[in-house]
Each structure stands twice: as structure tokens, then as C-alpha cells.
Amino acid sequence: MDVRVARFRHPPSPPRPAAPFGCPHWPGCVGCPWVGRPYEDQLASKHHRVVAALAAALPDAVVAAVDPVVPTSEPSGYRVQAKLVVGSVPAGVVLGLYAPGTHRIVDASGCPLHDPLLRRAIPALRAALERERVPIHGQGRTGLRYALLRASVAEERLLVTLVSSRAPLSQATRVARRLRRTVPLAGLLVNENRTSGNVILGARTEAVFGERALRERYGEVVIAAGPTAFVQANTRMAARIYGAIAEAAAVAADTRVVDLYCGVGGIALTLARTAGTVVGVEEVAAAVAAARANAARAGATHVRFVAGRVEEALGGLTEPVDVVTMNPPRKGAGAAVARAVAALAPRRILYLSCHPESFARDAAVLADGGFTLARVRPFDLLPQTEHVEVLGIFVRDSA
């Protein structure tokens, strides 16, 4: 009998999963931890986070007021700004992010979440830095530390800020000249930061080429901002959020609005299109200067901006207020500010937050001050990350 022994063959290895959006840095990059996760699952997790935060801070009856997360139409290519660490490796210059808990820089120069203009500009900037032999900070040397890039969707132009521990940075003019050959450069700035630690920007910024600020359109409002002012990283979704705030505020010609943590004036000027008066309050002096310039360009003479801490400025408000809008930093407004806002007794408070947990804590204080959280609208401002933007609509109980 002819007995043949079959040769054992290992089963074929499963194909390696394709990189989400064709990302050249996946899976080593830490910038977008949810990339590759099904989008509907991302939205569900973000909704659950908002509901859980409110359930922990407020009565369960409030949870029903949480809308589904407003999805984005652009899960990639949406980021209009990049803050990149600059480092030196044997192969040349690297632009990227620190790996968690280390000072090892992970390359992020080809991130598919960046706006297409940034995806063109970052490799061009790296090439210019290498060609001009720009000194890099580190290992006892002074030089370039960070590169900040911001793209305007409306104007398709780019603002670049080089943060350096060496100033002046003599090669910066030649870097700007090289960039202008390949990208529509609105301006190139050099920010001096000689400090140690993790603070990115120093106090002094000089223009090497072009303009100090970049203009962007949010709905019907045009906002110009420099590199030290906060602007949303997703222009298109920010415009939708500002529109949602305007809809919820329902302001009229006699409505008096106070906009807290107003930044460069995006929300204030959106509401100013129909409101009677608007007062914006902001602690960062550069942002206030930009907000005033934006109002002047728009001819919004019924809007004024106050520079100072929100806690102190609230005490100086003597006129009645109909609507309060607020967009505090991640830590939230805090109990003292929330109580002061409630004491103004506006008919409506619109609270925009990037952190559901701090929002929920402040919402509990506003509830104790006589306000009902009538509706919560989450927005997916930064897809592929755990971030969720929350808009809370509060109505005064006696209104």
C-alpha cells in the first residue's frame, strides 16, 4: 500500500490591518489614540462619557436631556493647527510629538488628520530647516524647540511660528523664503522661549515675514488671531457650534449678552449680529487686543471687550444681563464663577466646555443657583480622539 505523508503547512498569517486613513505613523503615534476605532463606536463612547459625568453630578432626570453627539462630516483632514516638537536625529530633523512619559519624539509630519495645507507645509518646513541648518535645541545647545503651524480654511494660507531658545534666529528669513516657494505663507514668526519646562510659548514674538495674524471665517464672522491666541483646531465644526449657540441664545435687538472667556471674540461677534449689546471678558491680553481688532473690522460698535480675570470682571457688571455665554478652559469655570454667573440672573446661560466632568461640576452649582439644564448638545470636534465638546443650555427657573 502506497502511504504518503502529507507535509504540514502552517496556516497563512492574517494580513496586517491597513493603516487608518493611510497613516504613515500608525500604530506608533500617540496623537490620535482612537484612530482605527469604528466611528459609530467613538460617538457612542463620547455620549456615554457625557451622560456618566452628568449622572454623577446632577439628578438622574437630567440625563434624558443629552442629545446624540453631533458627528463630523470629515473624520480626517480636519485639524487646522499643529504644535510640533522639533528634534534632531541622525537622519535629519524630526517634527512630532513626545512619546508619553519620555522626551523621545515620535514623527507626526505626515498626519492624515491635518488639513491638506498642513500636510504640504510640514514636510516643506522640515526640508527648509535641514537645508538652512537651523540649530536645534537640546543637549546643552540653544536653538529651535517647537514649530507651530496654523492653516486658514477660508483663505488657504498658512501662519508659521518657530519657537526658539536662541534669538534672534538668523536662519529664519531664509526658511521663510524657501517656504514661500511651495506653500501660501501668510507669515512666519519667531517666538523666544528660553525657559525650562513644558510651556511652549515665550513672551516675545517677532515677525520675520508677512503678517502676525491669520484670518479665518466662522459662519458669517471673520476672526484674525496670532499664534498666542486660542482658536479651535477644527474650523468647520467650530462654525457649527457657534451657529448652535446663536440658535439657542435666540438674541434680539434689545438682548444684552455677556461672553465669558471670550478669547478672540468668535462667539461674541457671532451673537453681535443680532444682539443689542455684547460684553466679552478675557484674561489673555493678546486675545483681547485681537478681539477688539476683529470687532473694529466688523464695524461692531455695540461690542466691547474687557481684559481681566473673569472672577473680578463679573463683580464690575452693573447693567442687567439677558444671556451669558461661557467657554472656559479644560478645568472649568469653577464654583465661584458659576455662583457669580447665577447671581446675574440672566434668562439663559450657554456653557461650552471641552471637558464633560468639569462641565458637570459647574452645572451642579448653576442648578443650585436656580437654573435648569434644559438641553445638552455634544459635538465631535476632534474625531479619532477621546475629546468631546459639550454645549449646555441652562434656563432660569423663574424665567
List the catalytic residues. Answer: 354
User: Measuring CA to CA, which residue among 245, 235, 193, 237 is closest to residue 214?
Assistant: 235
What gap in Å lies between CA 360 and CA 66, rounded to an integer?
12
Q: Which residues contact 50 (CB under 8 A, 6 or more apart)?
A: 66, 69, 356, 376, 378, 388, 390
Q: Which residue has the cell 478672540?
A: 264
**How far, rounded to the nearest angstrom, does the alpha carbon of residue 197 sit from its chain's CA centroid?**
22
**Count of alpha carbons within 13 Å of 325, Cβ hemisphere only?**
33
Cα(29)–Cα(333) distance, integer angstroms: 32
Distance CA 357, CA 366 (A): 14
- Residue 34: how many other CB atoms lie within 10 Å: 18
Amino acid 90 reads P
Phi-psi region of 98 (alpha: psi -120 to 50; beta: other; left: phi over 0): beta
Cα 83 from Cα 97, distance rounded (Å): 8
How distant, in Å, are the alpha carbons of 82, 177, 254, 293 from that of 182? 18, 10, 50, 30
CA–centroid distance for 65 within its chain: 26
